[in-house]
Structure 1
Amino acid sequence: MENVPSNSGMAVRRPNETIAINPKKGKITLGTRRLFNLLLYFSQQDGIRETYSRSISEVMAHITTSKDSEWLKECFRQMQETSIEWNHKEENREEWGVSGLISEARIITAGNSTTIAWALPQIIRDRLMDPRFYTKLTLEIHSKLKTGASIALYEICSRYVTNPSKVTNREHWQWWQPRLTGNPKRETDEYKYFSRDVLRPAIAEVNQVSDVIVELIEHKNGRRIEELQFKIARKALSELEAEVDKPFDGNLLESIIRLGVSQKEARALYAAHNLVLLRKTVALTEQRANATNVTPLKSKAAFFKKALSGQYATAASAEPAVEARVKAEKVVQISQEQEKAQQDAKLAAKQIQDAYELWAEQGAEKQLVLLHTFREASEVEGYRKDIQRRGLACMVSIALRTAFCQWYANQTWGDSGADYHKEK
């Protein structure tokens, strides 16, 4: 389970020219976005310098619990390989620019101390130190957003939340695609897939955990959606004060993925819906899939999403026989079950965290061996591909990390956790 320390009070003033950046080469990932914002924050604190530096522990404390320098190296490679392009208009002045995210990065180990150093392209450094127009971005919210598209959308919308119109620029949907995905290569030629896989999950996540509410505005040419805008409103203070972070249930998220829902969409559905409804809908989907007296389901994922949208599980629970059974169970068991569930959830979370810390203590070579062993055992195609493609860097994914730690805990202490309980 990801346990990112609070970045409360940390905010970077990002020059507007570096918001909604369009990568022309390379790819901007979730890890790259988080690290880039943190480096800009530290740079802004230090002022104009040729080179900036921080201890690796200070940097990683705000990104992830991992102390793995290979993850950092991969992020630095992505930053170095990525060229970004922007256009900035200001009254009678228009500026086009292109540069890398960073111009240099180093990881220096001396004895037991490891330091990272970086240099910024001059144009980014100059604008960062004296931004004429900037967007204030809260790093605490960045640490809560779990996809690169969500961070990109949050940054863009934060830029316009103080605009009198509260509406972003209006552009063709293909203009938005690389700016949200961080991928210069077009991932799809059809809007419906971009909307399904990227746009709507990102909007749901931003609305769930950030300080703004985003509304999609679609502009049609005939029956075809061509251009997009986003309408933004800042959440009322009372909403933010009342909002409590949703507890993370790795088993529930993985059960949704096992139905055939993509990791990205599963995270968005998890963020946007009540956990009780999600659990009931998963159970309803499995029950419907296993039913022998009806037409077999063509797609569990499609049924799950339709049932979730229509709240079929809520309607099903209102049937007289089921309702009577539920009421009877509540009278006798609810207090005991709730107490046990809370205790089990706390113990499971602690066991997952202990498993992660145990894994983190291993050397990079042993860590990779364990990841590849998990890859062979995993039934989730997305996990296998991510581990194969990204190596240790795949552990920035909260869903993958949780699934791995649950597996590693079972390997270490057994399915029942008996040995773990003895240690505790």
Structure 2
Amino acid sequence: MTAADDVQLLRKAVNTLAIVPKSTRITTLGRKSYNVLLYLAQEQGMEKDVFRTPLDAVVRGLDFDSNDHALIKKHLRAMVSTTVEWQSPTSGEGAAWNVSGLLAHARLSKERGQVWVEWSYAVNLKQELLDPSVFARLRLEVISQLRTHAGVVLYEICTRYKDIGRTARQPWRWWYPVLSGNPHTEKTERLEYRIFKRDTLKPAIAEVNAITDLEIELVEHKQGRFIDEIQFHIGRKKPATALGLARAPAPVDMGLVGRAMQLGVGEEAFDAMTVGCGEATVRSALDVLERRVNTAYPEPLRDPVRYLKALLLQGSERAEAAAEAAAAHPAAVALAAREQQAQRRQRWQAEWIRRANDRCLAAIEALSEETQHALEQQLLQALQARGAHPSIIKRLGTSGWHHPMVRQEMLRFFGDATFGPGWDKPGAEDLLEIATEMGGEEG
């Protein structure tokens, strides 16, 4: 590894790998965002006490002029207020034990139309965070592809000990808060090892083995008849194409969770129910949920969380059944290939429509408030004449056209009048252009 490669990696102090939350849960997006902030702080240097960067360098997928602002504020607030113990995964390896918040302070401000975030670290940790003496070299590009908190943490810890070939042995109850991000509670004290293994360990190991350059194996140690301690043996896969990391790390994608929250699904519920689901499955389920919320037929959706959970379960079962069918009969392979091509076409079409909607939305928001209000009145008359569901009409009157149940109606109304019928329906040439840009990428 060259010195040029070093500057492209996050040097994460060993004491910060196995953090134990003492107050509230640490989410996957929270951990990823913290890693990006730490990388940017290391780039800005030890001499600074306060660090600053445009917010879109840290997260993407959010409209920072909307309620999505509340999501990033929630993450920053959690990083400041969540008390954690900083400890090494190997007893005695770290220089010291510390307890503090992930950040000492955080602040958002808007300057010349751009949102900026500033942050700082506790004085007792700053030196070790920004210029660590014992650390893991982490590729943020790899971490960005991991979907679970346990997967991210397991990758970080195993990367630190890949040259040794194994992690330290620790009681399995020590591993639970470290991997899950959940603080100890009375409920977790009653947790059985088999449940922890099924819900946390197995999915995390499978994810790390599938996505990273590591091959991890769980090793269980018994005391009597029961599992007492566990550790992980670490192997390396054969060298493949090197994963490059740009000088500035890719921002954390909060688009899916931000979209889910707009549709009435809380972040923690969304985080829990999407474990093991592919991104394409999650996007498709959110599309269906959004249509159901916007349609509000035959009545407004009462429980978006249960509805989304059912959609994800159906999507996972369909994907598993298709895979089994293809493996069971050679003739099904050709069918699976055709279905894959159809799915790619659907993704190209969805991407084109998303961009068309974004253009239409930008055109509406560029209008004055008076003109937008007049448009709302025209839309109200059109909905009443069409006999639209009363819930949509009510939301338009009380919350305006930005409400999730109304926004798509406004886009259709304004788009048809401004760009003409079919403005949101791509033609063959449109799809070819998107396909050229996106290629055959999955998800």
| Cα distance change on mapping 1:263 and 1:38 into 2, 3 Å | closer
Q: Structure 2 counterpart of 1:178, which letter?
A: P
Aligned to 1:46: 44
Select 2:26's aligned residue among 25, 28, 31. Answer: 28
- Give 1:257-272 correspondences, 5 Å limit: 264=272, 267-268=275-276, 270=278
Aligned to 2:202: 200
- Give 1:34-113 correspondences, 5 Å limit: 34-48=32-46, 49-60=48-59, 63-64=60-61, 66-67=63-64, 68-88=68-88, 95-113=96-114
Partner-residue secondary structure (3-state), 1:237: coil
Q: How high is the sequence identity, in percent, across the aligned residues? A: 31
Partner-residue secondary structure (3-state), 2:182: coil
Residues 316-350 of structure 1, C-alpha deviations (whole Å, 9 max, x = no match) = 547xxxx6xx59xx5xx898776555433322344
Aligned to 1:276: none
Partner-residue secondary structure (3-state), 2:22: strand
| Cα distance change on mapping 1:130 and 1:69 into 2, 3 Å | same
Structure 2 length as normaliser, TM-score? Answer: 0.59
Q: Hey, what's the Cα distance between the residues in 1 that align with 2:347 and 2:106? A: 41
The answer on 1:226 being equivalent to 2:228 is: yes
Aligned to 1:395: none
Q: Structure 1 counterpart of 2:166, which letter?
A: V
For the 8 Å contact 2:219–2:230, the answer to whether it is kept is yes
- Give 1:130-169 correspondences, 5 Å limit: 130-162=131-163, 164=164, 166-169=165-168
Partner-residue secondary structure (3-state), 1:168: coil
Q: Hey, what's the Cα distance between the residues in 2 that align with 1:23 and 1:57? A: 27
Aligned to 1:421: 425
Two-structure CA RMSD over aligned residues (Å):
4.4
Structure 2, unpaired ranges of 5+: 1-5, 244-255, 257-269, 280-311, 366-390, 393-403, 414-420, 431-443
Following TM superposition, by how much is the alpha carbon of 1:125 offset from its aligned partner in structure 2, in angstroms?
Answer: 1.4
Aligned to 1:19: 17
Q: Hey, what's the Cα distance between the residues in 2 that align with 1:408 and 1:316? A: 45
Aligned to 1:170: 169
Following TM superposition, by how much is the alpha carbon of 1:208 offset from its aligned partner in structure 2, in angstroms?
Answer: 1.5
For the 8 Å contact 1:352–1:409, the answer to whether it is kept is no
| Cα distance change on mapping 1:46 and 1:362 into 2, 3 Å | farther
Residues 139-170 of structure 1, C-alpha deviations (whole Å, 9 max, x = no match) = 111211112221111111111112x2x11111
| Cα distance change on mapping 1:44 and 1:355 into 2, 3 Å | same
For the 8 Å contact 1:351–1:409, the answer to whether it is kept is no
Following TM superposition, by how much is the alpha carbon of 1:409 offset from its aligned partner in structure 2, in angstroms?
Answer: 7.5
Q: Hey, what's the Cα distance between the residues in 2 that align with 1:169 and 1:181? A: 18
For the 8 Å contact 1:87–1:94, the answer to whether it is kept is no
| Cα distance change on mapping 1:240 and 1:208 into 2, 3 Å | farther
For the 8 Å contact 1:22–1:182, the answer to whether it is kept is yes
For the 8 Å contact 1:204–1:268, the answer to whether it is kept is no
Structure 1, unpaired ranges of 5+: 1-7, 242-249, 251-261, 272-299, 364-375, 378-404
Q: Hey, what's the Cα distance between the residues in 1 that align with 2:180 and 2:361? A: 30
Give the count of matched residue pairs.
315
Q: Hey, what's the Cα distance between the residues in 2 that align with 1:143 and 1:203? A: 16
| Cα distance change on mapping 1:101 and 1:362 into 2, 3 Å | farther
Following TM superposition, by how much is the alpha carbon of 1:200 offset from its aligned partner in structure 2, in angstroms?
Answer: 1.1
Q: Hey, what's the Cα distance between the residues in 2 that align with 1:150 and 1:266? A: 13
Q: Hey, what's the Cα distance between the residues in 1 that align with 2:123 and 2:29? A: 23
Q: Hey, what's the Cα distance between the residues in 2 that align with 1:151 and 1:205? A: 9
| Cα distance change on mapping 1:360 and 1:156 into 2, 3 Å | farther
Aligned to 1:286: none
Structure 1 length as normaliser, TM-score? Answer: 0.61
Following TM superposition, by how much is the alpha carbon of 1:83 offset from its aligned partner in structure 2, in angstroms?
Answer: 1.2
| Cα distance change on mapping 1:113 and 1:154 into 2, 3 Å | same
| Cα distance change on mapping 1:264 and 1:207 into 2, 3 Å | farther
Following TM superposition, by how much is the alpha carbon of 1:86 offset from its aligned partner in structure 2, in angstroms?
Answer: 2.9
Q: Hey, what's the Cα distance between the residues in 2 that align with 1:133 and 1:345? A: 44
Q: Hey, what's the Cα distance between the residues in 2 that align with 1:17 and 1:168? A: 14
Q: Structure 2 counterpart of 1:420, which letter?
A: D
For the 8 Å contact 2:203–2:276, the answer to whether it is kept is yes
Following TM superposition, by how much is the alpha carbon of 1:112 offset from its aligned partner in structure 2, in angstroms?
Answer: 1.5
Q: Hey, what's the Cα distance between the residues in 1 that align with 2:159 and 2:412? A: 45
Q: Hey, what's the Cα distance between the residues in 2 that align with 1:234 and 1:79? A: 33
Partner-residue secondary structure (3-state), 2:240: helix
- Give 1:276-315 correspondences, 5 Å limit: 313=325
Residues 113-138 of structure 1, C-alpha deviations (whole Å, 9 max, x = no match) = 32211011123210123311110111
Aligned to 2:179: 180
Partner-residue secondary structure (3-state), 1:80: helix
Partner-residue secondary structure (3-state), 2:276: helix
Residues 244-303 of structure 1, C-alpha deviations (whole Å, 9 max, x = no match) = xxxxxx9xxxxxxxxxxx9757642659xxxxxxxxxxxxxxxxxxxxxxxxxxxx979x
| Cα distance change on mapping 1:411 and 1:52 into 2, 3 Å | same
